[in-house]
Amino acid sequence: MAKTADYDLGEFTFPRGWFMVARTDEVSKKPLNLRYFGQDMVLYRGDSGRLVLMDAYCPHMGTHLGKNETSYVVMDNEHIDGDNIRCPYHGWQFGPDGNCVEIPYSPAPIPASACIRTYPVQEWGGSVLMWYDAEQGEPNFDPPELPQWEDPSWVQWKIEDLGELGQHPMEVIDNMADKAHLAPIHGSTNMEYFENEFNDHVIVQRLAAGHRTMSETQMINDTWYTGPGILLSRIEGDYPSLMMISNTPIEDGLIRVFYGILVKGKNDIANEEDKAVADQFHEVSKAAFLQDFEVWFNKRPCLNVLQVIGDGPFGKTRIWYKQFYNPRDKAKDYQAQVNGVVVTRGTNRDNFEKSAAE
């Protein structure tokens, strides 16, 4: 399993950005125990409805804040008090900012070091997103806009946890540039065009192609990553859809993958027939994505792409990706190297003969 250093991505082990960590319906006053970015964490919803995500261990004696069922702190329903959380071992209480606000048995001043790292979180499309930054800075870009989520004509996605993938996320991001895998893996046919656009913290893939089983006519597909962790893919057709894939680092070289698809129904308010179609889209689209999974499960790390004419811009994609593994004041340097549109040859619109003539 290759590590971040093996890919020569930058100074940090984990990338900066927004990442999915849970579904909103999983979060309650009972702390949800998570592990991401090499850290154990707890996620809970306070009495005000506020979401709180913090590292899991009490600084007093290292007790896990969430893994306890037998402490009287838990059994007396005092584990979450307002938006605060109590340690089940000695009752130390921490606010949603991670600072200790009470040591119930001691009159001594609260030590300045009695604090726990917290993370910015927000609800997005039925999920909880966290902001991770090794420099612990505030978010410097927003998650992608998602107006379809509030539109009653769209069937909301059912987020599915696809489990752990023992590959570095670099291997997943490579797909954005990988024109050549679309025919043998996904069944694309008669590709009209394939291009990428790099725009600061966003990378876009645009293509039009037929499909061996789904469509003989051209299907238009626009796909983009907002930062390193959240992909959206817009597909036009009789039922327009918007697919979501999120990859979140657990350890260096190990990620968790979430998947969902929004589908626009035929009615102003999606009915049961529209929902049935959306369920079919979910399974068909997931099956297509799992074709990539089978490859990722069974490949060795690709530290250097043996690139040939007809491949997409893997090099630029990896340069774009580096901005998230380095101090944010260096991001503009990487963006300047790649920003713009890159067309990949070997399609109807942009064939090899045209390339040779130019």
- CB neighbour class for 297 (10 Å; exposed up to 12, middle 13-18, buried from 19): exposed
3-state helix, strand, coil in the chain (%, to 5): 25, 35, 40
The SS3 of residue 44 is strand
Whole-angstrom Cα distance, residue 217 to residue 199? 30
Predicted confidence at residue 219, as pLDDT, reads: 77
Encoded amino acid at 79, one letter: H
**What is the DSSP pairing of strand 188-199 with strand 340-343?**
antiparallel
CATH number for the domain formed by residue range(s) 28-132: 2.102.10.10
Whole-angstrom Cα distance, residue 127 to residue 19? 10
Task: Kindly tell me the sign of the dihedral angle through the C-alpha atoms of 76, 79, 80, 86.
Answer: positive
Residue 190's contacts (CB-CB under 8 Å, 6 or more residues apart) are 209, 210, 218, 348
Six token digits for residue 320: 């774009």
Nearest to 332 by CA among 340, 342, 320: 320
Whole-angstrom Cα distance, residue 30 to residue 62? 20
Predicted confidence at residue 20, as pLDDT, reads: 98
Residues 173-189, buried b or exposed e (16+ Cβ, 10 A)?
Answer: bbbbbbbebbeeeeebe
Contact of 259 with 159, CB cutoff 8 Å:
yes
Which strand ranges, in their side-by-side order, compose the sheet holding 32-36?
32-36, 39-45, 51-55
46 alpha-carbon distance from chain centroid: 24
**Helix residue spans in the chain (DSSP H):** 72-75, 169-173, 182-186, 272-297, 314-322, 331-338, 352-357
Predicted confidence at residue 288, as pLDDT, reads: 84
Q: Where are the domains of the chain?
A: 28-132, 147-344
Whole-angstrom Cα distance, residue 22 to residue 50? 15
Predicted confidence at residue 221, as pLDDT, reads: 87
100 alpha-carbon distance from chain centroid: 31
Nearest to 244 by CA among 262, 265, 271: 262
Contact of 162 with 308, CB cutoff 8 Å:
no
Place of tokens 């071992």: 89
pTM, two decimal places: 0.95
Predicted confidence at residue 210, as pLDDT, reads: 78
Q: Which fold has domain 147-344?
A: Naphthalene 1,2-dioxygenase Alpha Subunit; Chain A, domain 1 (3.90.380)
The SS3 of residue 43 is strand
Task: Kindly tell me the sign of the dihedral angle through the C-alpha atoms of 302, 201, 221, 246.
Answer: positive
pLDDT tens-digit profile, the chain (358 residues)? 799 999 999 999 999 999 999 999 999 999 999 999 999 999 999 999 999 999 999 999 999 999 999 999 999 999 999 999 999 999 999 999 999 999 999 999 999 999 999 999 999 999 999 999 999 999 999 999 999 999 999 999 999 999 999 999 999 999 999 998 888 888 777 789 999 999 999 999 999 887 765 556 677 889 999 999 999 999 887 889 999 999 999 999 999 999 999 999 999 999 999 999 999 999 988 988 888 889 999 999 999 999 999 999 999 999 999 999 999 999 999 999 999 999 999 999 999 876 554 5
**Could you give phi then psi for residue 158, rounded to 5 degrees?**
-110, 105
